[in-house]
Structure 1
Amino acid sequence: MLEIQSNDQIVQALLAKIVAATQNTEPAMRAIGENLMEVSKQSFEKSASPAGIPWASNTQTTILRYLEQLGGSNYNKAGKLSKKGGERVMSKKPLIGISKDLMRQFSYVATWDSVTVSNSMVYAAMQQFGGTRSQFPKLWGDIPARPFMPLDSDGKPDDIAQQIVVETIQEYINDVINSQN
């Protein structure tokens, strides 16, 4: 879950402008939620964090489990990877499984004074922050962090999230001002 709590003076001043102009910050909060979700979804397209840092590649174990889940003709009669199996291996991106649920299960809740962006998959935090088998014995191996939400390693909004918040609010203010003229 990404919860933006900002005491940043710039953000507070911008929100005060919205209140002065419209008495309603909820549309701006919804726009922030939409923009933060979009940045998170784009991480899956790029196989990289919102900051552009590439994710760790899939391990051999992950690839083999993926092929097993897919079933079908991934191996030839000699037990070697078939052409189809090879194509599947080459196209397998980190964090994108058969269901693609992790990249689809984003939502947000916006109120007049807050916005919370979340991913409903139970393993989302593990994929975002990583974890070791010693921490979580049911894992088949260590999971490297593959950040897809704009959070730092402590789970706080990072510079990208702050930038999105400021730019979204500024854009919203400009839209309000233009609509009043």
Structure 2
Amino acid sequence: MSIKITGMEEIEAKLTALQNSLSGAQMKSKLASIGEKVKLQIELSFERERSPFGQAWTPLSANTAIAYMRKSGSPKGARARNRVFLAKFGAGGSKKILRLSGNLADRWNVEASETSVTISNNSSRDGFPYGLTHQFGSHNGWGRGIYIPARPFLPIDKSGALLPSLQKDIENYLIREIEKAVK
């Protein structure tokens, strides 16, 4: 999955100033810190079950809940199955959205070089682009015409702009680092 973030001119100018004042290893460290800030926003989306912009994710459908039960194995007998189902998915249930395997929520990687940072997650299931589908939704999920609602977790909006609070946080971090570097 590749997404271009726009409206980053101020951040890019500050990064250039910082890059000119630091060694390659120091710059790599600063970019890794920025990547960790983005990764934290993504992880918070999964924890809160909300987009970084505050929209609650669509709850699990009954079909998904039933599929979860089948995957985890269900006890014999209707009464026992109902008790297990309600414990996981009822009013007091704890089943989190987008957590069946944990791959999408838990496998974010930050890779920094002296000139760039990449935050990635290559989760897929049977070739299905898991992250892309959940970020934007799909009307043809799993290639079977299944509707999958968007549950955005990336801190960018539909136009590719970074979450304003994250952008401000990165800008403040860069200002502090530039001030330290030029002292």
Aligned to 1:137: 143
Does the CA-based 8 Å contact 1:49-1:149 persist in structure 2?
A: yes
Does the CA-based 8 Å contact 1:4-1:116 persist in structure 2?
A: no
> Where does the alignment leave 5 or more consecutive residues of structure 2 unmatched?
125-129
Aligned to 1:26: 28
More displaced 10-residue stretch of structure 1: 49-58 or 107-116: 107-116
Does the CA-based 8 Å contact 2:18-2:177 persist in structure 1?
A: no
Aligned to 1:118: 120
Give the Å deviation of 1:100.
1.4
Give the Å deviation of 1:23.
4.3
Distance in 1, matches of 2:15 and 2:47, equals 32
Instruction: Assess, with a 3 A threshold, how the Cα gap between structure 1 residues 60 and 7 changes in structure 2: closer, same or farther.
Output: closer
Give the Å deviation of 1:18.
0.7
Aligned to 1:14: 14
Aligned to 1:64: 66
Distance in 2, matches of 1:37 and 1:132, equals 28
Aligned to 1:92: 95
> Where does the alignment leave 5 or more consecutive residues of structure 1 unmatched?
none
CA RMSD in angstroms comes to: 2.7
Give the Å deviation of 1:7.
6.2
Secondary structure in structure 2 of the residue aligned to 1:91: coil
Does the CA-based 8 Å contact 2:14-2:174 persist in structure 1?
A: no
Distance in 1, matches of 2:35 and 2:4, equals 10
Secondary structure in structure 2 of the residue aligned to 1:159: coil
What letter is aligned with 2:12?
Answer: Q
Distance in 2, matches of 1:165 and 1:29, equals 14
Does the CA-based 8 Å contact 1:32-1:165 persist in structure 2?
A: no
More displaced 10-residue stretch of structure 1: 36-45 or 7-16: 7-16
CA deviation profile, 1:51-102 (whole Å, cap 9, x unmatched): 11100011110011111111132x74458612x32111122222111x2111
What letter is aligned with 1:68?
Answer: R
Distance in 2, matches of 1:143 and 1:173, equals 41
Does the CA-based 8 Å contact 1:3-1:116 persist in structure 2?
A: no
Give the Å deviation of 1:163.
4.5
Q: Percent identical across equivalent pairs?
A: 24
Aligned to 1:146: 151
Give the Å deviation of 1:17.
2.5
More displaced 10-residue stretch of structure 1: 4-13 or 103-112: 4-13
Give the Å deviation of 1:165.
4.3
Distance in 2, matches of 1:4 and 1:164, equals 16
What TM-score results when the alignment is normalised by the length of structure 2? Answer: 0.79
Q: Give the total of aligned pairs.
A: 173
Aligned to 2:47: 45
